[in-house]
Homo-oligomer: A and B are copies of this chain.
């Protein structure tokens, strides 16, 4: 059992993503939040409101996935949907006051986990990592529509 796959980029990225998410889940649990809530939560905090489709695009998630995440967030009292009278297909998603109160603590948690990840690494490690991942992801995005 000496064999291991920890020298393959694809594998290590997946592994690291899972470690990150687990850590985040753990930190967010006491606040009643799940890690998948974070991107829409922070996006809504910054924009004040957005449709489901806009949110999905902003955080690079498919629309059906965002639909489910928002449903859970609604169930947990974090967002509400304000129907758009001008276009009855749409609804503007907004944070509840409860969610808005949580935002600063959530941002603090996210920051501290990011910092913990880079502890003992050079100052430019975060920027470097993010840059490399960005380029790799762009390289792998579906080729059609360049």
Q: Are A5 and B129 in contact (CB under 8 A)?
A: no
Q: How far is the CB of A121 from chain B (nearest CB, A)?
A: 6
Which of A20-28, A75-83, A90-98 contacts its partner? Answer: A20-28
Q: Are A24 and B10 in contact (CB under 8 A)?
A: yes
Say how many copies of this protein the assembly contains: 2
Count of interface residues, chain A, beta-carbon cutoff 8 Å: 57
Contact with B along A9-23 (1 / 0, CB 8 A): 111111111111101
Q: Are A3 and B58 in contact (CB under 8 A)?
A: yes
A86 within 8 A of B: no
A31 within 8 A of B: no
A47-61 contacts to B, CB under 8 A, are 47, 50, 54, 57-60
The residue that A141 contacts in the complex, of B6, B19, B57, B60, with Cβ under 8 A, is B19
Q: Which residue of B lies closest to A130 (CB)?
A: B12
A69 within 8 A of B: no
Q: Are A129 and B130 in contact (CB under 8 A)?
A: no
Q: How far is the CB of A136 from chain B (nearest CB, A)?
A: 4
**A128 to B114 Cα, complex, angstroms:** 19
Given A1-B54, A8-B114, A39-B11, the answer on whether A136 and B47 have CB atoms closer than 8 Å is no
Q: Are A135 and B121 in contact (CB under 8 A)?
A: yes
A132 within 8 A of B: yes
Using Cβ atoms and an 8 Å threshold, which residues of chain B touch A88?
Answer: none
A126 within 8 A of B: yes
